[in-house]
């Protein structure tokens, strides 16, 4: 089906085992490929990685780079040598080569990061927020945001939130907005907490601060403003000085397709690890481990009753909790 | 040997073309000059390859002393540049001697960014394949930041091609009006599913004022009450301008809530707002010359085929304007 006069160049309707695809103009050097409807569904993200892998392998002349995101992939191309219609035709052909979700194996790494929960650094940011920005923020309870996350999700206090966050790996769907900032989603739907963002936003967040907004967990690569509910601090994920060997190629630790798991440490242990990493006396815990979508989807089906129970408790809790 | 910075000005950065390409998936926008025409013109005038590292002087106020003889050119916004307090021509190469002081005043006659190219280029280390300064990430260019008083910038070694008195054909010099027309295409989230076709007609018909709060990351335009083709952003957020985060095309026009923002050379790589339009490559240079708080912009819709032809024309015209008048390359 071909369109003219607006942004959509072409579409492929959804079919058994395959989501619909929309190809959109994004100027004379970019093209946006979108999967499925506008909803949060990690299987769409796996599809994105499937296409990304196929694109990398295919090396279409004129394709400069790709930017995977939750349900879309932005393709940077050279319009002088590769007309967009030809690129879309190539992408439609490629779509038949991308395996169905079930058969995808995505290049991925398991990255274990130490985290100090409800740490003094993020509590410091939150204290300043209360002092200078908003005194009566409902998301600040006992000087932090974790109790609010607990109440909003029907969890058992601070410890309940920490257990939930540590119980799942976090899938990094994309890197961006700020250089190196990961957008991570829980792989285990039994622990899929959600929470509204700050209102207004917070002018400060410590480097390495970790927070959640909606369903998405982010790590702040540098000290910066932010709107996510903070729950801890981790090690540097961005280092221009390349003090640690992990940053030798570029200043950014994480890649799209990484799975982050959290290892709980004390503030003192975190400080020690941060120093050791900065001195290159320690390494980051990163293991190559391709992600098998079939195994994952089968896991999802198995835990669906528990995930549904988690969502019901969450929805009931949300009715009783004010939004910032 | 180099150039001692006596005054940094509002924001003077080392830039290079095509910028840092290939790192968008790590959150790194390309950087590079905001006005690729004036930038390349300055380089061609001094005999450099068009993409060579040169200085981008935002809003003027830059002053430097040369430690060595050389050939330079100043293009872009008219900053009433002087050498040892004597006026020097814009868009024309001229010789400087060791000890000479170049000063750029504040642009008052239209345009916002001037470019200073030196035969041999600016010698700063490459970072991730480019010398362009990326102000957001704090890397590239000179120590990852704008120049300031006391810095010494190293200059490259000039090839034989540099000579004084090479002029950019005045008839081909880009005009810097107060109301601009910028060629654009409908963005990935234009009509029919995000904005209405009436919204897009308005977008291409209206003359948008450029907000004072504009920089290398983004150029803010005035807010507007859009009709929207949908009532909310669904899972992505309450407002219909919200989407699940996706990659932003470089030089896209976001709509954040009601406010359109042109994402510029140091913009965010990814985000959760719709992109109503995308400027075409040939036209992005105009954004670099928009005077915040004064100028206004109309967007003219072109097809992707026109956009590609336009890019070829602009590149050819640039070359002809520097070399064609002399009949030699």
How far apart are alpha carbons A134 and B201 in whole angstroms? 40
Q: Quick one: pLDDT at residue A5?
A: 57
Residue B238's nearest CA partner among A196, A152, A145, A202 is A196
DSSP SS3 for A75: strand
How far apart are alpha carbons A11 and B193 in whole angstroms? 13
- Per-residue pLDDT reduced to its tens digit, A160-200: 999 999 999 999 999 998 899 999 999 999 999 999 888 88
Q: Do B25 and A39 touch (CB under 8 A)?
A: no
Q: Does pLDDT of A101 surpass 90? A: no
Domain ranges of chain B: 2-172, 179-313
Q: Quick one: pLDDT at residue B326?
A: 52
- Of the partner residues A25, A68, A70, the one whose CB lies closest to the CB of residue B25: A68
More confident residue, A125 or A318: A125
Q: Does pLDDT of A237 surpass 70? A: yes
In Å, what is the CA distance from A167 to each residue of A213, B100, B148?
Answer: 18, 66, 50
Q: Please name the fold of domain A8-99.
A: Gyrase A; domain 2 (3.30.1360)
How far apart are alpha carbons B175 and B111 in whole angstroms? 9
Interface confidence (ipTM) of the complex? 0.93
How far apart are alpha carbons B56 and B54 in whole angstroms? 7
Q: Quick one: pLDDT at residue B82?
A: 97
Q: Do A255 and B26 touch (CB under 8 A)?
A: yes
For the domain made up of B179-313, the CATH class stated in words is mainly beta
Q: Does pLDDT of A3 surpass 50? A: no
Q: Do B308 and A250 touch (CB under 8 A)?
A: no
Q: Quick one: pLDDT at residue A280?
A: 97
Cβ atoms of residues A68 and A76 within 8 Å? no
Percent of chain A with pLDDT over 70: 98
Mean per-residue pLDDT, A8-20: 91
Token pair, residue A86, equals 């030809």
HSE, side-chain direction, 13 A CA sphere, residue A69: 28
- Per-residue pLDDT reduced to its tens digit, A54-85: 999 999 999 999 999 999 999 999 988 999 99
Cβ atoms of residues B106 and B118 within 8 Å? no
The A residues from 223 to 282 touching B (CB cutoff 8 Å) are: 240, 250-252, 255-256
Output DSSP code: residue A67.
Answer: E
Q: Which residues of B fall within a CB distance of 8 Å from A48?
A: none
Q: What is the DSSP string of A197-256?
A: PPSS-BS---TTEEEEEBTEEEE-SSS--B-SEEEEE---SB-TT--SGGGSS-SB---T
How far apart are alpha carbons B41 and B52 in whole angstroms? 11
More confident residue, A84 or A39: A84
CATH of A109-319, one of 3.60.15.10, 3.40.228.10, 3.50.50.60, 2.40.100.10: 2.40.100.10
Q: Does pLDDT of A203 surpass 90? A: no
Q: Does pLDDT of A265 surpass 60? A: yes
Low-confidence ranges of chain B (pLDDT < 70): 237-238, 325-329
- pLDDT band at residue A1, thresholds of 50, 70 and 90? very low
- pLDDT band at residue A295, thresholds of 50, 70 and 90? very high
Burial class (CB in 10 A: 0-12, 13-18, 19+), A226: buried
Tell whether the torsion through CA atoms of B316, B317, B321 and B326 is positive or negative. positive
Q: Do B188 and A67 touch (CB under 8 A)?
A: no
Domain ranges of chain A: 8-99, 109-319
What does chain B come to in residues?
A: 329
Shortest CA gap A80–chain B (Å): 6
Mean model confidence pLDDT for chain A:
93
Q: Give the predicted TM-score (pTM) of the model.
A: 0.91
Q: Which residues of B fall within a CB distance of 8 Å from A34?
A: 246
Q: Do A179 and B137 touch (CB under 8 A)?
A: yes
Q: What is the DSSP string of A163-202?
A: HHHHTS-EEEEEE-SSTT-EEEEES-GGG---BPPPSS-B
Q: Quick one: pLDDT at residue A10?
A: 95
Residue A183's nearest CA partner among B172, B157, B269 is B269
How far apart are alpha carbons B19 and B235 in whole angstroms? 35
Q: Do B139 and A251 touch (CB under 8 A)?
A: yes
Q: Do A69 and B246 touch (CB under 8 A)?
A: yes
Q: Bridge partners of B219? A: B262
Is A323's Cβ below 8 Å from some Cβ in B? no
Q: Count of CB atoms within 10 A of residue B65's CB?
A: 18
Q: Does pLDDT of A91 surpass 70? A: yes
How far apart are alpha carbons A287 and A261 in whole angstroms? 12
Token pair, residue B326, equals 């002399």
Strand order in the sheet with A63-68: A8-12, A21-25, A30-35, A72-77, A63-68
């Amino acid at each position: 089906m071909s369109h003219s006069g607006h942004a959509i160049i072409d579409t492929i309707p959804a079919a058994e085992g395959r989501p619909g695809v929309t190809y959109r103009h994004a100027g004379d050097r970019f093209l946006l490929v979108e999967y499925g409807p506008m909803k949060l569904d990690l299987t769409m993200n796996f599809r994105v990685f499937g296409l990304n892998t196929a694109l990398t392998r295919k090396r279409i002349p004129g394709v400069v780079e790709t930017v995977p995101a939750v349900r879309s992939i932005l393709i940077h191309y050279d319009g002088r040598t590769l007309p967009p219609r030809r690129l879309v035709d190539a992408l439609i052909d490629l779509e038949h080569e991308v395996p169905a979700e079930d058969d995808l194996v995505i290049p991925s790494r398991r990255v274990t990061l130490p985290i100090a929960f409800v740490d003094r650094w993020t509590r410091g940011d939150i204290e300043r927020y209360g002092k200078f920005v908003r005194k009566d923020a409902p998301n600040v309870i006992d000087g932090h945001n974790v109790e609010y996350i607990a109440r909003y999700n029907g969890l058992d206090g601070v410890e309940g939130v920490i257990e939930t966050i540590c119980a799942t790996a976090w899938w990094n769907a994309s890197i961006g907005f700020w250089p190196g900032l990961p957008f991570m989603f829980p792989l285990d739907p039994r622990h899929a907490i959600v929470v509204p963002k700050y209102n207004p936003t917070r002018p400060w967040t410590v480097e390495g601060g970790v927070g959640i907004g909606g369903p998405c967990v982010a790590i702040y690569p540098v000290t910066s403003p932010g709107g996510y509910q903070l729950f801890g601090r981790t090690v540097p994920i961005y280092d221009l000085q390349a003090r640690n060997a992990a940053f030798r190629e570029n200043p950014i630790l994480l890649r799209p397709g990484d799975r982050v798991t959290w290892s709980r440490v004390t503030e003192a242990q975190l400080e020690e690890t941060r120093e050791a990493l900065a001195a290159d006396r320690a390494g980051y815990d990163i293991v190559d481990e391709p992600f098998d979508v079939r195994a994952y989807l089968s896991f999802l089906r198995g835990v669906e009753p528990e995930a549904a129970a988690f969502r019901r408790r969450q929805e009931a809790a949300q009715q009783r909790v004010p939004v910032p | 040997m180099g150039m001692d910075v006596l005054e940094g000005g509002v924001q003077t950065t080392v830039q290079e073309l095509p910028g840092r390409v290939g790192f968008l998936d790590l959150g790194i926008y390309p950087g590079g000059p905001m006005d690729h025409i004036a930038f390349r013109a300055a380089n061609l005038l001094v005999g450099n390859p068009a993409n060579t590292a040169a200085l981008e002087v935002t809003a003027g106020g830059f002053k430097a002393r040369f430690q060595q003889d050389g050939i330079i050119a100043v293009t872009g916004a008219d900053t009433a540049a002087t050498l040892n307090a004597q006026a020097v021509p814009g868009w024309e190469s001229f010789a400087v001697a060791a000890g000479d002081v170049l000063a750029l005043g504040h642009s008052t006659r239209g345009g916002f960014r001037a470019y200073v190219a030196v035969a041999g280029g600016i010698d700063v280390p490459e970072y991730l394949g480019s010398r362009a300064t990326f102000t957001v990430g704090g890397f590239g260019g000179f120590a990852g930041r704008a120049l300031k008083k006391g810095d010494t910038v190293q200059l490259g070694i000039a090839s034989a091609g540099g000579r004084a008195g090479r002029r950019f054909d005045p008839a081909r010099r880009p005009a810097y009006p107060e109301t601009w027309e910028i060629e654009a295409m409908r963005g990935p989230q234009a009509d029919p599913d995000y904005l209405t076709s009436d919204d897009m007609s308005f977008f291409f018909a209206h003359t948008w004022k450029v907000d004072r709060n504009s920089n290398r990351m983004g150029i803010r335009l005035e807010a507007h009450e859009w009709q929207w083709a949908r009532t909310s952003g669904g899972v992505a957020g309450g407002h219909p301008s919200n989407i699940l985060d996706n990659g932003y095309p470089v030089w896209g026009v976001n709509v954040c809530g009601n406010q359109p923002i042109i994402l510029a050379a140091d913009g965010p790589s990814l985000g959760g707002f719709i992109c109503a339009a995308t400027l075409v490559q040939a036209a992005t240079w105009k954004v670099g010359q928009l005077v915040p708080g004064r100028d206004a912009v109309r967007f003219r819709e072109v097809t992707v085929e026109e956009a590609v032809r336009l890019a070829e024309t602009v590149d050819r015209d640039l070359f002809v304007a520097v070399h064609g008048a002399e009949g030699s390359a």
